[in-house]
Amino acid sequence: MGKQKSFIKLEGTFDDLTFYERKGKQLVRKKGSLNKQRIENDPKFKRTRENMNEFTGAALMSMTLRKSLGSLIKKMGGTTTSARLTGIFRRMSSKGPGKRGRRSFIMGANKPLFHGFEFNKERAFDSVFSALYDAPAIDANRSVVTWTVPAFEMETDLKLPEGTTHYQFVLATTLLSDHVYDEEFQAYVPVAPELNGSRHVTLGELLPADVTLTEEAVLSTDLGLTEALPDTVVSLSVIGVLFFQETADGEFYPLQGAQSLAIATIA
């Protein structure tokens, strides 16, 4: 890879040279001899195809988790959330049963991989909210999750970002199914598609930044299940706190990069 030294900015391919820009720099490289057809068919790239299959499955599961939490991830996730979640699922596939390139994603056996996961690494939940609290409780069907936010002292227990006028606690629960490789569709599919990605989000009261929670606040999510979840599905709950700034016209805007959200339970 070489650097392009010219006041003219070029992009595209000319003969066997490709011109492109990365991080503000103009770069040029020679066209490689590899192509999609060779990677898909050449026996020498068997391991590459296997890795690509499982990486695609990991990316699919990461996307399912992020989509199931919807706007929470957009508001509260960091810039590395997607890549770190995909990495967790990639490690999961490396432990899964089956042939390499088609190994299954088994959620129940890999719960520890998610313990302590922070969606925003710069704002770890326990460093933002330092009051003593219990992990959310879950019922026998793994349908109803309850989190009790304890009373706390604002000055010592909640780290407010600069510019905060209001804050709000949140509890969210989502279901994730095991995934297996389907030979017919040549892709990973959920074992329990009717449950995969189901979710419920509960927001606490929007409180002014100068108001301390003097009594416990109970947040609950209910997925409405009428029977216990199968072993092929896990219930994953996250807890967090949102910080807002109120504008002159009464609108509340989440503070960019200041939110905190973490995985609290997986059962």
pLDDT tens across the length of the chain (267 residues) = 444 444 445 455 555 567 666 666 766 665 665 667 776 666 677 788 888 889 999 999 999 999 999 889 999 998 999 999 999 999 999 999 999 999 999 999 999 999 999 999 999 999 999 999 999 999 999 999 999 999 999 999 999 999 999 999 999 999 999 999 999 999 999 999 999 999 999 999 999 999 888 899 999 999 999 999 999 999 999 999 999 999 888 899 999 899 999 999 999
Asked whether residue 8 is assigned to any structural domain, the reply reads: no
204: in domain: yes
Residue with tokens 């299954």: 104
- Angstrom distance (rounded) from CA 46 to CA 35: 14
Whose structure tokens read 């030294």?
5
Q: 3-state DSSP: the chain helix, strand, coil percent, rounded to 5?
A: 25, 30, 40
The DSSP-derived string for 74-91 is HHH--TTHHHHHHHHHHH
Residue 28 placed within a domain:
no
Asked if the structure places residue 112 within a domain, the reply is yes
What are the φ and ψ backbone dihedral angles of 64, each rounded to 5 degrees?
A: -60, -45
pTM of the model: 0.83
18 and 31 Cβ atoms separated by less than 8 Å: yes
Contact 170, 203 (CB under 8 A): yes
* SS3 assignment, position 66: helix
CA angle 55, 185, 103 (to 5 degrees): 40
Residue 24, in any domain of the structure: no
In a domain, 107, yes or no: yes
Quick check: is 29 in a domain? Answer: no
Please give the residue range of the domain that contains residue 91.
Answer: 43-266
Number of domains present in the structure of the chain: 1
Residue 58 within a domain: yes
Q: How far is it, in rounded angstroms, from Cα 208 to Cα 82?
A: 32
